[in-house]
Amino acid sequence: MHIAEGFLPAGHAAGWTIAAAPFVVHGARAVVREVRENPGSTLLLGAAGAFTFVLSAVKLPSVTGSSSHPTGTGPGAILFRPPVMALLGTVVLLFQALLLAHGGLTTLGANAFAFAVVGPWTGYAAYRLTRAAGAGLMPAVFAGVALADLATYVTTSFQLALAFPDAESGLVGGLLKFLGVFAVTQIPLAIGEGLLGVLLFRVLTVNARPELERLGVLKPAEPVTPGGAA
């Protein structure tokens, strides 16, 4: 998720920046529209950004020779849709690069594409599909938050494999190598983040239910239960 400063070849860094840029611009417009149409959502937007910043700044040791992070982008994607998280996630990465030396400026585009684009869109798709299948809110939140986390690291592994393919087996070998370092150790973290997302939405359904109804996460008077209901 936090590819280090200068680690990617210049062409790859530029390519990922170009790929991420339209999503970030679209996200900026989505945030402006949300704040203009619903000024009361500013506090929840700020909370979503702060949650992402704090959670993704936590570094946990990994037995595969790297470190792992939660991502924190899933809840914001569920609440405000993925375009909003494209901007918020990129801002988070920018501040982490400048203040915490997590990631870098040359790799900001690649990190943003994995963290702020692919992760939120995958998580939101998992959330919507789970809801459409008849599951309740909490199982859908778990699926969305967990897969947003995992998809980010799978994408990072692909980015690194493109830049550093295996000398013998090429892209596939490089991808398997980086997946072994990042994605496998991320599975328990993704599960833990999914559970944290469920706890977060439990709090929101009690303290911010009108806002959840306005955002379409809950229908008016929809019950919230651990199982198949909302």
pLDDT (tens digit, 9 = 90+) per residue, 111-139?
999 999 999 999 999 999 999 999 899 99
Q: Give the pLDDT confidence score for residue 229 in this predicted structure.
A: 46
Q: Is residue 1 part of a domain?
A: no
Buried b (16+ CB within 10 A) or exposed e, 11-45: ebbebbbeebeebbeebbebbeebeeeeeebeebb
Q: Give the pLDDT confidence score for residue 181 in this predicted structure.
A: 81
Q: Is residue 3 part of a domain?
A: no
User: Angle, nearest 10°, between helix axes 42-57 and 82-99?
Assistant: 50
Q: Give the pLDDT confidence score for residue 141 in this predicted structure.
A: 97
CATH of the domain at 201: 1.10.1760.20
Residue 47: give the domain boundaries: 10-214
Residue 12: in which H helix or E strand, if any?
helix 10-37
**CA atoms of 58 and 91, how far apart (whole Å):** 17
Q: Is residue 2 part of a domain?
A: no
Q: Is residue 112 part of a domain?
A: yes
Q: Give the pLDDT confidence score for residue 1 in this predicted structure.
A: 62
Q: Is residue 223 part of a domain?
A: no
Q: Is residue 108 part of a domain?
A: yes
State residue 81 phi and psi, 5-degree precision: 80, 155
Q: Is residue 224 part of a domain?
A: no
Q: Is residue 226 part of a domain?
A: no
Q: How many domains does the chain have?
A: 1
Q: How far apart are the first and last CA of the chain?
A: 32
**CA atoms of 38 and 41, how far apart (whole Å):** 6
Tell which wins on pLDDT, 40 or 149.
149
